[in-house]
Structure 1
Amino acid sequence: MQNFPILPREMAASLWRNRDLIAALVKREVIGRYRGSVMGLAWSFFNPLLMLVIYTFVFSVVFKARWGVGVEETKADFAIILFVGMIVHGLFAECVNRAPALILSNVNYVKKVIFPLEILPWVAFGSALFHTAISVGVLLLAQLILSHQIPWTVVLFPLVLLPMVFIAMGFAWFLASFGVFMRDVGQITGVFTTVLLFASPVFYPLSILPAKYQGWLQLNPLAFIIEEGRKVLVFGQLPDIGQWGVMMVVGMLTAWAGFAWFQKTRKGFADVL
């Protein structure tokens, strides 16, 4: 039986070696999602815009929530700050929720020895990243219209997201493998990402929590990414490089652990399917 390499360098080598195939599959998936709809890809723009309006109304009008960024804080300010958290959580949640079904929905690839199954999580991530980029575009457009300015630090947002990319990929490889052997995993991930939505500073800033809870919440990797994302996208502040470095190490270790598990267990996929 074939043994698949699990070294960290193979994780990067596989991505580079199959980059054209990944790009083609991502393009096919994005286009296929909206094929047959009247508005087509325009839905990828209107969906985040609609969610932004709904969440803003519910939290700033119905619940009269405030972020506490100043006495002159407006509903638009609250909406923009809230939207950053939604974007980050949405990217992670889409990758995790789709992961358990990646192999099950591509059984024909399992039979092909030459097909690199390890790229399927990258394809799912690429599709999610496309929609995240559209959402960020909506966010920046809203800032430009409402605040008449966009901080230069927005160029650092991809850097802030990088640790979460590795963490999401690690989870995706783990769950893609578990999903083959345990079909209930898909139900668990939906609950997990919903809990994570409220256990992350999406609807509130970390600073409003009692100190004894802040430490626990900071163990959630999304907490750092969301808070630092707001710094660079909204407040025009530089990210905390020290904590970012720690998160990068955590992210790379998570990604490699997930990749190694996937490579070790993929030999049994064909037998189960």
Structure 2
Amino acid sequence: MIKDIITNKKLIAKLAKNDFKQKFAGSTLGVIWAFVQPVITVLVYWIVFDKALNQGTQGTKAGIDAPFVLWLSAGIVPWFYFSEVLSAGTVVLHEYNYLVKKVVFPINVLPIVKAVSSLFVHGFFVLFTLVVYLLYGYGISPYILQVVYYSVAMMALVIGLIYLTSALCVFFKDMAQLINIFLQVGIWATPIMWNFDTMMEKIPTWLQILLQLNPMYYITSGYRDSFISQTAFWNRPYLTIYFWALTIVLFILGTHVFRKLQSQFADVL
């Protein structure tokens, strides 16, 4: 599977570029919408949690060494990418069913196309967040380079997931709806709009461990380590080992299921 991905890297790049443009084809502003929507979402969350509900969110903001909008942005940037790729990647085989039915087309690259396509917006959003930090007077430190590491880690995680979900979705179309529900719950199960550190005293130990087993906890914490606390990823050795062990298992499982079911995709679609 990895060999096929490397062999078809030019095809993946071309399809990803076309996929990104196709999302907004026909609209007046075109691809500008891809960048406007995440920014508006952050502004809405910021206004609600930091302004409209200011008194009610003091517990969340306690202990944060940065303005709330910066803390929120650092956590929600990776979630936008993860949720977009998982949602779109789950239905990728249905979307590109005309390619799946071509005998000579390497359909195992299609999940990768969605992961690469969403990198355009993710890259912009990282730069946008960095500009906001600069405007708030925060300098650029070498730790910001860790964003590249955490982005690659998140991409590896979600690719393994969408190999699995996209293959299952061919035979079980409700998978797409289940993923949407999972993402709605996941954004609150991940410490994005609430501070895990301040909640530790209020929740039992078993729940703390359960929340930390969420692989996106590692990613969102890593982005905040890069932007705010300037902590190296090797200072979280146990979480790093756990994350990569889980990611490797999911990738092996996802690609195995995909290859086993691949021969039946064209008949079902």
TM-score by length of 1: 0.89
Pairing of 1:240-259 with structure 2 (within 5 A) = 240=235, 242=237, 243-259=239-255
> In structure 1, what is the Cα distance between the partners aligned to 2:262 and 2:5?
17
Deviation of residue 34 (structure 1)? 2.6
Letter in 2 for 1:155: L
> In structure 1, what is the Cα distance between the partners aligned to 2:189 and 2:98?
38
Q: Deviations over 1:112-131 (max 9, x none)?
A: 12111111111111112221
Equivalent position of 2:219 in the other structure: 225
Work out whether residues 166 and 254 of structure 1, in 8 Å CA contact, stay in contact via their aligned partners in 2.
no
Pairing of 1:147-166 with structure 2 (within 5 A) = 147-166=137-156
Q: Deviations over 1:65-114 (max 9, x none)?
A: 242245xx67xx11111112211112111122123321112121122121
Q: Which deviates further from its counterpart, 193-202 or 235-244?
A: 235-244
> Residue 147 of structure 1: SS of its match in structure 2?
coil
Pairing of 1:30-41 with structure 2 (within 5 A) = 30-41=20-31
Letter in 1 for 2:258: F
Letter in 1 for 2:46: T
RMSD: 1.7
> In structure 2, what is the Cα distance between the partners aligned to 1:42 and 1:48?
11
Equivalent position of 1:196 in the other structure: 186
> In structure 2, what is the Cα distance between the partners aligned to 1:30 and 1:131?
9
- The correspondence for 1:121, drawn from 94, 107, 111, is 111
Deviation of residue 162 (structure 1)? 2.9
> In structure 2, what is the Cα distance between the partners aligned to 1:186 and 1:47?
22
Q: Identify if the C-alpha distance between structure 1 residues 37 and 118 changes in structure 2 by more than 3 Å, giving closer, same or farther.
A: same
Letter in 1 for 2:191: P
Work out whether residues 143 and 149 of structure 1, in 8 Å CA contact, stay in contact via their aligned partners in 2.
yes
Equivalent position of 1:270 in the other structure: 266
Q: Which deviates further from its counterpart, 35-44 or 195-204?
A: 35-44
> In structure 1, what is the Cα distance between the partners aligned to 2:139 and 2:41?
23
Letter in 1 for 2:250: T
Equivalent position of 1:182 in the other structure: 172
Q: Report how many residues are paired.
A: 259
Q: Identify if the C-alpha distance between structure 1 residues 42 and 107 changes in structure 2 by more than 3 Å, giving closer, same or farther.
A: closer
Among the aligned pairs, what percent are the same residue?
Answer: 24
Letter in 2 for 1:219: L
> In structure 1, what is the Cα distance between the partners aligned to 2:88 and 2:193?
24
> In structure 2, what is the Cα distance between the partners aligned to 1:45 and 1:12?
31
Equivalent position of 1:57 in the other structure: 47
Q: Deviations over 1:18-41 (max 9, x none)?
A: 100000001111122233333333
Letter in 2 for 1:208: T
- The correspondence for 2:126, drawn from 125, 136, 153, is 136
> In structure 2, what is the Cα distance between the partners aligned to 1:264 and 1:181?
13
Q: Which runs of 4+ in 1 moved over 6 A?
A: none
Equivalent position of 1:169 in the other structure: 159
> In structure 1, what is the Cα distance between the partners aligned to 2:3 and 2:113?
16
Deviation of residue 148 (structure 1)? 4.3
Work out whether residues 73 and 129 of structure 2, in 8 Å CA contact, stay in contact via their aligned partners in 1.
yes
Q: Identify if the C-alpha distance between structure 1 residues 55 and 180 changes in structure 2 by more than 3 Å, giving closer, same or farther.
A: same
Equivalent position of 1:8 in the other structure: none
Tell me, which stretches of 5 or more residues in structure 2 are unaligned? none
Q: Deviations over 1:192-222 (max 9, x none)?
A: 0110000000011211222522111011110
